[in-house]
Structure 1
Amino acid sequence: MLAFIKNIGGPELIIILVVVLLLFGAAKLPQLARSLGASAKEFKKGVEDGVSEEDADAEDSSA
């Protein structure tokens, strides 16, 4: 499904970066990057919590 991502090279990435810069403006990019980082951090935390809950459930059922 996302096989086209493997074929993206340097020039394509530069074009994508320019389009993002034009759409959001230079002032908004740091704010967008911060919010993206915070979202990724929350996602990782949620995944880790889910895994630890599954481990706890597995230990409870085996005991």
Structure 2
Amino acid sequence: MRKYILISVLFAGALFSNGCSKSDELVPANKSVLREYVLPPASFMTPDERAVIDERRDEYNSIL
């Protein structure tokens, strides 16, 4: 049993020590591209649209 534990510890150590050998695996960061997200302008509902929404909300709440 000790033999299997020793072998597994040695195997895990070899795996971990070889896992970080290449530090340049990732793509280099591109700092020239800036991402600025612009929100669309807010659009307000007309009274007719608001009335439709209120009707649907009232219908939904009456079912509950």
Please say whether Structure 1 and Structure 2 have the same fold, judged by a TM-score greater than 0.5.
Answer: no
The TM-score range, normalised by the shorter chain, is 0.3 to 0.5
Larger Rg: 2
User: TM-score when scaled to structure 2?
Assistant: 0.36
Higher relative contact order (CA 8 A, sep 6+): 1
Q: Which structure is higher in helix share?
A: 1
